[in-house]
Amino acid sequence: MNVDDEREIITSNPRSPNNYHPEYLPTHPMKHTEYHMQSHRQTETMPHRPSPSRGLPPAQADDKVDFALAVPHCPETSQRPQAVDAEESISRPSIARANIAVSTEHPAGSHNRQLSFAKNKEYTVLQQHVLFWDRDMDGAIYPLDTYRGFRDLGFSILFSLLSMFIINVNFSYPTRLALGGYLPDPLFRVYVGGVHKAKHGSDSGTYDHEGRFVPQAFEDMFSKWDADRKGALSFVELWRMIAGNRLVVDPFGWFAAIFEFGSTWLLLQKDGMVSKEDLRRTYDGSIFWHIREQRLRGKGWDKGFGLGNVFDAAVCYATGSKQKWDELSKKSRREVRQRGSEGSLYSL
């Protein structure tokens, strides 16, 4: 076969751009290069055409950006929109803050009087989150510190013991490794200086790997999961978020996320919702000091939910009985006010 015959076979194939097909590529190096250049030029000028096999919408963009934010073949990109307007209130929200937890409503973060003596600006946001349990500021959280901290927040003896076991057994060794120790701590202390190594998978990404606070990830949490833009997350929405954040082969991360957000809901919910501001203050730990102060003053904490009512709450959600849920919420708040300054609010 001569060169002219070869060219005739190549150009007569109607199946690909420029009438070329990979099966009939010219063997001459210059012809091969010419094929790629022509194919690339034609591909650039070809308009986008949706798949004929599925009635999907085209890629979705936003008037604030000049690129696509969602694509038709991954519905989750449309169902979980990003917070594209965060930059209107927060300067460069994608850059993590080392020592301040900010939001679009509170771009200056929290003013925490209880931690002023501790110079909390010298700690990362994740370290500030756990300093509530390090009352003597020695850099180590003993199991007894964990227990006392949960009791100060109003949790029951059994729940506080369970939390002590989960936290100190699982997070002691990673935080010790971060400080250069290779042998497990026989006292199961959690070290504040290495707490960034206690970050687990399947989380929201609001803390980065060094314990800093990522405003964009926090805003995305509500943009994606707060369905009706009420500025709060319900138990069901929190559960959907946990499920949506799950990573493959990460059972520890799944359990840790359930424990953390479950405890947060029990502590902070009001009318079944955890507000955005309360959740932001949970990340920097300032909400814990506020709850403790309210309880010490005898005012009690007017939010939260007893574990004894969890089954009833599940029934309310399953049956869609809003009236029963409202009655249950009022009953729970009465119990909190009556027993908020003494005893255990969240009893098993």
Taking the domains of the chain in order of start, what are their residue ranges?
Answer: 3-34, 84-339
pLDDT attached to residue 344:
47
Is the pLDDT confidence value at 21 over 50?
A: no
Alpha helix ranges (H) inside the chain: 3-11, 29-45, 76-79, 125-130, 143-152, 157-178, 215-225, 235-245, 251-268, 276-283, 286-296, 310-319, 322-339
Amino acid at 249: V
Mean pLDDT computed over 308-328: 60
Is 121 in contact with 269 (CB distance < 8 Å)?
no
CA distance 253 to 333: 32
Q: Which whole-number Å values give the CA distances from 160 to 128, 148, 180, 196, 331, in the listed order?
A: 20, 8, 30, 23, 23
Residue 55 has pLDDT above 50, yes or no: no
Three-class SS state of 100 = coil
CATH number of 84-339: 1.10.489
Torsional sign, CA 121, 122, 127, 130: negative
Across the range 318-326, mean pLDDT stands at 63
| Residue 274 and residue 261 in contact, taking contact as beta carbons nearer than 8 Å | no
The confidence score (pLDDT) of residue 110 equals 86
| From 2-16, 100-114, 171-185, the region with the lowest mean pLDDT | 2-16
Check whether 324 has a pLDDT greater than 50: yes
Indicate the range of 47-51, 216-220, 238-242, 250-254 predicted with least confidence.
47-51
Q: Measuring CA to CA, how many Å separate 331 from each of 184, 208, 272, 306?
A: 45, 39, 13, 10
Q: Is the pLDDT of residue 66 over 60?
A: yes
pLDDT value at position 111?
Answer: 75
Confidence (pLDDT) at 53: 35
pLDDT above 70 (res 112): no
pLDDT at 316 over 70: no
| DSSP letter assigned to residue 112 | -
Q: How confident is the model at residue 304 (pLDDT cuts 50, 70, 90)?
A: confident
pLDDT at 287: 96
3-state helix, strand, coil in the chain (%, to 5): 55, 5, 40
**How sure is the predictor about 334, in pLDDT bands with cuts at 50, 70 and 90?**
low
Is residue 109 predicted with pLDDT exceeding 80? yes
For range 25-32, the mean pLDDT: 44
Distance between the two ends of the chain, CA-based, in angstroms? 86
The pLDDT value recorded for residue 342 is 46
Q: Does the pLDDT value for residue 29 go beyond 50?
A: no
pLDDT at 294: 94
122: amino acid identity, one letter:
E
pLDDT over 80 (residue 203): yes
Contact 191, 175 (CB under 8 A): yes
Determine the pLDDT at residue 247: 97
pLDDT score of 161 more than 90: yes
Contact 211, 199 (CB under 8 A): yes
Percent of the chain's residues with pLDDT above 70 = 68
- Averaged pLDDT for residues 211-227: 98
Mean per-residue pLDDT, 172-201: 97
pLDDT at res. 300: 85
Residue with tokens 């091969």: 32
**What is the band of 40 on the pLDDT scale with cuts at 50, 70, 90?**
very low
Q: Is the pLDDT of residue 264 over 70?
A: yes
Q: Cα separations (Å) of 162 from 84, 158, 264, 265, 282?
A: 40, 6, 15, 17, 20
34-43, 209-218, 314-323, 335-344 — most confident range: 209-218
DSSP-assigned letter for residue 197: G
Q: Does 291 score more than 90 pLDDT? A: yes
Higher pLDDT, 48 or 94: 94
Residue 57 in this model has a pLDDT that exceeds 60: no
Where is pLDDT greater, at 231 or 40? Answer: 231
Q: 341 with 301: CB under 8 angstroms? A: no
